[in-house]
Chains A and B, each alone.
Chain A
Amino acid sequence: MSTTIIWTIVILAGLGLILSLVLYLVAAKFKVEEDPRIDEVEKVMPGANCGGCGFAGCRAFADAAVKAPNLDNNYCPVGGNEVMKKVAAILGYEIVEKTPQVAVVRCNGTCENRPRTNVYDGVKSCKVKAALYSGDTGCPFGCLGCGDCVEACQFGAITMDPATGLPVVDETKCTACGACAKACPKHIIELRNKGPRGMRVFVSCVNKDKGAIARKACTAACIGCGKCAKVCAQEAITVEDNVAYIDFTKCKLCKKCVAECPTGAIHTVNFPVLPPKPAAEPVKKEEVANA
């Protein structure tokens, strides 16, 4: 009886020894040399694995950043300049600073501005809706309102406003990873520079229809009249396919275009509210009659 037990132990222990030796040899032979800096870089990354940098996740980004000769093409929009400074310090590269960006919803087709022309009772997904037809309003370019962008956002920065039926971006939470812009089948969401103190001017419309048709579908639509482009001293505004676009790298935030827009399609964000100018004294009727 006891010999059976002893033999069992001996055989098992022997097997264990031999196999561990084999494992050791294999591990030694096929050892993967990994740059220790990859781990260090990964530690300073935000760890959201959002894919905003263009890589599959933070580890993939770290790997690419270590292998690249500089940081020109690798930038983590979520971590921003602070994280990139740390990454640059670890790798000993030059710091590439980028202006912080934010997601901007370029549609103002609220229930009021853009009346519904039909009822959609299908799956609540913009992707599905866009594959079926142009949407439940007269505007085939505008927001479909099913919230694919809300679902795509990993930072909880986008919510649907039930009053307007449009998504709202929370600037404090938005990291400009671009997931919402990719999820939007109508390409309404754009990443734009945050601007000084968060001040921005943008055209809140992507309707490429001719003016009259666009206006009929939505009272807040850009009609492509080009008045904004004429007053812009910076040549930041271009009108193409009946819709104006403000180049945020050229815009100096003078707001001249805002006053010109007949439909109010140009929006301003975070500008300080100025006290209203004292209204000019109304010319008295008697004076007019005298003159």
Chain B
Amino acid sequence: MRKLTFSKGGVHPNDSKYSRECGIEVLPLPQVVYVSMAQHLGAPAKPIVNVGDFVKAGQVIAEPGGFISAFVHSPVSGTVKSIGPRKDLAGNNMTHVEIAVEGDIWADGIDLSDTLVTEIPQDRETILKKIQECGVVGLGGATFPAHVKLNPAPGKVAECLIINGAECEPYLTSDYRIMIERSKEIAVGAAIMQKVLNGCPCVIGIEENKPEAVNAMSAAISDLKLQNIEVKVLKKRYPQGGEKQLIDAVMHRQVRSGGLPIDVGAVVQNAATALAVYEAVQKNKPLVTNTLTVTGDCLPENRQHNYLFRIGIPLSYIIEYAGGVPEGAAKIISGGPMMGKAVANIDAATVKGSSSILYLSKQSTLRKEESNCIRCGRCADACPMGLEPFLLNRLIKAGDMEGLEDRSVQDCIECGCCLYSCPANIPLLDRIRPAKAAVLGIIKSRNIKK
């Protein structure tokens, strides 16, 4: 079988999946959790509880703050201690709801049993409403509210649902573990989303370095006799899990600049999102848990873990539970090594999209001295969006915003391939990121004027 992959750019970092054999463990509850109001892309949610209220696990504590926004639920049962600004991962202020844990009482109507429910509700609207009310967001990284993506604008038809099991980021294994341990739930979740999208075909894309996941998912689909779902093996290549790259790999279609996946008839959802959809629709359980990998190149093999955690648990609690910061760790990163962010505030709370705590040694995080661009063009070869990072870098230095827009800096997916491939150690992505934000701002204000 020919393995699929995207057509342009990409790099091949060592996958370093040290924690792949570690089964998912349930993380015990801490004394206190901090639930952020900005756990999703779009407007922050608005808290609807008051200080002193008793909340049950799974109870709504915040309402969406706009069209692109999501419900937030309490991950634990306990008393609301405070509602106010707290520093997030990057050290910026965000409204958090602080809940002191008391017992573990779940809200009514939530099915906590392990029994697999395969019967899918018939009504499309009911399913969408449940997904929205359970606060399901895309867990692949962007945390885009799932109900918005699953409800294409009128006139747009979904021709293929792609379940993203690529997990192309090195080190991360949380998606891999859930695809092995909870493959049937994910398959049903995919079937539910298929139903919502009027029965379009579904492809589960998994990279070739995860054969166990491919087998588990294929077995689950044939066991459940699901129609129109197939597993496709993808070549190992970063950033395969990028939305546009995955569409290119699976459907051989390319999303135009500024376009959305639905323009080419594709809807992409992460494997973890499929699991969250299953839990929301079949079990009535809101998105209050997720899987997270604790790993790193300076972490001994017996200390690698995959945890099922309640959202809102502070990172410091998980770090302590997993045995503290290992010797030789120079940086703690939340997310993968390519796109993740260095943790500036270790007391920050986990959010819906948290996927890992990664300890990297000094050797692998070392920034080498920048030298001159020799125009070798490796960054342009590596860019999966077909941009020319060396040129963008020059335009940024010249402050040429129009030139940057002409060269489509706004299409950058911030995957870091340019920085990874540069032999002169030029921090290309670091410079492009603020320029992209500036250009997007210019485009937005221009559209408002119109």
* Chain A positions near chain B (C-beta within 8 angstroms): 117-118, 121-123, 125, 127-128, 130-136, 138, 140, 208-210, 213
CA distance A118 to B331 in the complex (A): 10
Taken residue by residue from 86 to 128, chain B's Cβ proximity to chain A (1 for < 8 Å, 0 otherwise) reads as 0101111100000000000000000000000000000000000
**Interface residue from A123, A134, A140, A213 paired with B430 (Cβ < 8 Å):** A123
Main secondary structure of the interface of B (DSSP, over half): mixed
Is the CB–CB distance between A210 and B431 below 8 Å? no
How far is the CB of B175 from the nearest CB of chain A, in Å? 26
CA distance A123 to B87 in the complex (A): 23
How far is the CB of A142 from the nearest CB of chain B, in Å? 11
How far is the CB of B34 from the nearest CB of chain A, in Å? 14
Is the CB–CB distance between A130 and B434 below 8 Å? yes
**Known contacts A131-B437, A209-B85; A123 and B431 CB within 8 A of each other:** yes
Is the CB–CB distance between A209 and B430 below 8 Å? no
CA distance A139 to B92 in the complex (A): 9
Is the CB–CB distance between B342 and A133 below 8 Å? yes
CA distance A280 to B437 in the complex (A): 60
Main secondary structure of the interface of A (DSSP, over half): loop
Chain A residues near B431 (CB, 8 Å)?
A: 123, 125, 128
Is the CB–CB distance between A133 and B427 below 8 Å? no
Chain B residues near A122 (CB, 8 Å)?
A: 367, 427, 430
**Interface residue from A131, A136, A138, A210 paired with B85 (Cβ < 8 Å):** A210
**Interface residue from A121, A127, A135, A210 paired with B91 (Cβ < 8 Å):** A135
Is B341's beta carbon under 8 Å from chain A? Answer: yes
Cross-chain pairs A/B with CB under 8 angstroms, 28 sampled: A117-B345, A122-B367, A122-B427, A122-B430, A123-B427, A123-B430, A125-B431, A127-B434, A128-B427, A130-B434, A131-B433, A131-B434, A132-B90, A132-B341, A132-B342, A132-B430, A133-B90, A134-B90, A134-B91, A134-B344, A135-B91, A136-B344, A140-B87, A140-B91, A140-B93, A208-B93, A209-B85, A210-B84
Is the CB–CB distance between B344 and A118 below 8 Å? yes
How far is the CB of B113 from the nearest CB of chain A, in Å? 42
**Known contacts A122-B367, A140-B87; A133 and B341 CB within 8 A of each other:** yes
Chain A residues near B434 (CB, 8 Å)?
A: 127-128, 130-131
Chain A residues near B93 (CB, 8 Å)?
A: 140, 208-209
Is the CB–CB distance between B433 and A128 below 8 Å? yes
- Please provide the chain B residues from 402 to 439 with a CB less than 8 Å away from any CB of chain A in the complex: 427, 430-431, 433-434, 437
How far is the CB of A242 from the nearest CB of chain B, in Å? 10
Q: Closest A-chain residue to B90, C-beta based?
A: A133
Size class of the B contact interface (CB-based, 8 Å): 10 to 19
Interface centre among A121, A125, A134, A136 (most CB of B within 10 A): A134
How far is the CB of B38 from the nearest CB of chain A, in Å? 14
**Interface residue from B85, B87, B367, B433 paired with A132 (Cβ < 8 Å):** B433
How far is the CB of A261 from the nearest CB of chain B, in Å? 23
How far is the CB of B199 from the nearest CB of chain A, in Å? 43
How far is the CB of A277 from the nearest CB of chain B, in Å? 42
How far is the CB of A238 from the nearest CB of chain B, in Å? 21
Chain A residues near B344 (CB, 8 Å)?
A: 117-118, 133-136
CA distance A134 to B341 in the complex (A): 12
Chain B residues near A140 (CB, 8 Å)?
A: 87, 91-93
CA distance A132 to B416 in the complex (A): 14
Chain A residues near B345 (CB, 8 Å)?
A: 117
Chain B residues near A125 (CB, 8 Å)?
A: 431
How far is the CB of B399 from the nearest CB of chain A, in Å? 11
CA distance A111 to B341 in the complex (A): 25
Taken residue by residue from 65 to 97, chain B's Cβ proximity to chain A (1 for < 8 Å, 0 otherwise) reads as 000000000000000000011010111110000
Is the CB–CB distance between B367 and A134 below 8 Å? no
Taken residue by residue from 276 to 287, chain B's Cβ proximity to chain A (1 for < 8 Å, 0 otherwise) reads as 000000000000
Chain B residues near A134 (CB, 8 Å)?
A: 87, 90-92, 344
